[in-house]
A and B are shown apart, each in its own frame.
Chain A
């Protein structure tokens, strides 16, 4: 379906125009949405709002979506990214609450995230369970584990007096005026883009997603690479959990699941940017940006909060429909 465009080199000109429009439909949508909100509200296009958009709407979702991009690139999906976020958040808060230094808390959080990833990797690479089912199981087990750890789902608060400076700095700090959480997100995005573009591991993961049998027959350790991809997914999601906790100084059980559907949405919207319909970091980031702009912009229009959700959903649907319809007709 997605490959059909290359089968007919002499497609009529209007099909070619449409299919390139479809490929850049995401960018087009971004420009249109950005312009529309700039015109519709006086506050959208101000430095203060754009910074708030990036810090409050973009940062965490971008990190979780980059994580998701690793799992989807490897031909799977990770429904337990929220579980990794939660486990990291819980470990971080608990360690700091127990009087451990913040550095230990951070390491503990990452380790807790890695446990989730390792469990997924064991199921997927070790046993051969399909990623959707494996991570669905992890999501359900993780939910119960969190309830057990918190006496049936009570939040874990850090008392305002007990928040170390380093802890607060991660969530609210800035390096020469640049918010630290956003900086971390940018580093994560850049590192992920580097891995996919410049490392052997990244290329193998992409190849697994496109044609696993070829990778297997090439004598490359398929399972090993998939395992690492899923552990990386959970580790990156754990970073989002650490920042989330440092920002709100509380851990709420199963709150990380709020990212799940948006991260899937952003990753798959991003695939429209690739000619093969494959996940890619640039597409994912633009997808997150689109979701963030719409969320932030609709809030500013003062539209009824509930209509905002309808608006967001409809817009995503429209972008998808546009890209997919044209991808089909482009070569048909």
Chain B
């Protein structure tokens, strides 16, 4: 945004403003289409070099494999929307990956104790919600910076997971988990449908309801939102609760995908953060959106998958992710700079 004060007559001012606005729209559009084109190019290259790549079975696999990180990244996106773009002072939830780990461990442990699936599902979701509640209390009521509050909560949650599992994989196998990790007649994993369904529900809420609009208002223009009388504290607390719930859901998906708890949940944190932040380029105004995050999660999923099919080292994926986010953010910044 330009902070300069324009002195001149009104006509000049509006002409300049509209020129600026169209330049900005052009920049945003080129970036958005650029990233969509880049996505398409990546898909084309992989499908030409690895024939199996664009088969329905493989696409379903990628969707299924992206389900866990996708749900986590969507949870993080809700917090990004509500907290605003500045990651340090605004919204971030570093406890999400650890949350998934603990929720998964709770699910596995509860079934090991002989309880049935509904109890285990409830226990996992409650675990996620409880972690979200602690984050909400720390950020909204204690006023701790989200980066710091969720960092501390992450440490506690990761510790609790270790206490519960003694750093081993707790196996879990129930009818529900088997059904969740199965594939349908077309060979598409059930987890793929879960990811799509989950995205549809959250998109409906965040992008198409007054509640979602308020979340955006609070994140982008906190002062205006306060002046308009929005219940900021409740909205922000709600965003952290929702993100905690996403952690619980991801935990259930992870138990079914791995047939047990996981000891590597902390590895997922930074990739999830990158996925959620990268998602903004798939939106019209370069803001975080749920569908953008889904696209970004799928992009990463296709990259990992394509590298595997081509027998390339999957360790390169992290480098590609890093370069992608830098290219995207640099072009955005440079385009914005030029028009001001």
Contacts and interface: CB of A to CB of B under 8 A. Distances in A.
Interface in B323-340: 323, 325-326, 329-330, 333-334, 337
A265 B167 contact: no
Contacts, number: 146
Interface in A281-332: 304-314, 316-317, 320-321, 324-325, 327-328
A306 B159 contact: yes
B313 to A, nearest CB: 6
Interface in B141-176: 141-145, 147-149, 151-160, 162-163, 166-167
A227 B277 CA distance: 24
Contacts of B325: 133, 136-137, 140
Contacts of B318: 140-141, 143-144, 147
B59 interface: no
Contacts of B86: 130
Contact of B152 (A133, A141, A306, A320): A320
Nearest to B137: A321
Residue among B159, B167, B277, B337 with max Cβ neighbours from chain A (10 Å): B159
A1 B143 contact: yes
Contact of B151 (A138, A264, A327): A264
A122 to B, nearest CB: 10
A10 interface: no
A138 B323 CA distance: 8
Contact of B155 (A305, A307, A309, A325): A309
B37 interface: no
B88 interface: yes
B130 to A, nearest CB: 14
B319 interface: yes
B142 A306 contact: no
A307 B159 contact: yes
Nearest to A147: B315
A153 interface: yes
B159 A321 contact: no
B88 A132 contact: yes
Contacts of A320: 138, 142, 144, 148-149, 152
Given A133-B325, A304-B163, A144 B152 contact: no
Determine chain A's interface SS by DSSP, over half rule.
helix
A152 interface: yes
Contact of B326 (A137, A153, A310): A137
A139 interface: yes
B138 A316 contact: no
Contacts of A312: 155, 159
A132 B156 contact: no
Nearest to B139: A324
B313 A147 contact: yes
B326 A123 contact: yes
A126 B168 CA distance: 46
A143 B333 contact: no
B155 to A, nearest CB: 3
Interface residues on B, range: 35 or more
Given A144-B319, A307-B163, A129 B152 contact: no
Given A140-B319, A140-B321, A144-B315, A310 B87 contact: no
B200 interface: no
B155 A261 contact: yes
A128 interface: yes
A130 B87 contact: yes
A288 to B, nearest CB: 15
Nearest to B3: A213
Contact of A141 (B141, B147, B319, B337): B319
A61 interface: no
A141 B151 contact: no
Interface in A252-281: 261, 264-265, 268
A306 B159 CA distance: 6
A134 B329 contact: yes
Chain A CB within 10 A, most for which of B155, B277, B323 = B155
Given A321-B138, A321-B142, A129 B159 contact: no
Interface in B287-328: 313, 315-323, 325-326
B152 A313 contact: yes
Nearest to A119: B326
A328 B144 CA distance: 10
B300 to A, nearest CB: 11
Interface string B181-195: 000000000000000
A197 B334 CA distance: 35
Interface string B42-80: 000000000000000000000000000000000000000
A309 B162 contact: yes
A301 B152 CA distance: 22
Contacts of A306: 159, 162-163, 166-167
Among B152, B157, B320, B337, the most chain A Cβ lie within 10 Å of the Cβ of B152
20 contacts: A129-B330, A132-B87, A134-B329, A137-B322, A137-B323, A142-B322, A143-B322, A145-B319, A147-B318, A261-B154, A264-B147, A264-B148, A306-B163, A307-B159, A311-B159, A313-B153, A317-B156, A324-B142, A324-B143, A325-B141
Given A140-B319, A306-B159, A306-B162, 6 more contacts: A140-B274, A141-B326, A143-B315, A317-B152, A317-B153, A320-B148
Interface of A: 1, 76-77, 79, 123, 127-130, 132-134, 136-145, 147-148, 152-153, 261, 264-265, 268, 304-314, 316-317, 320-321, 324-325, 327-328
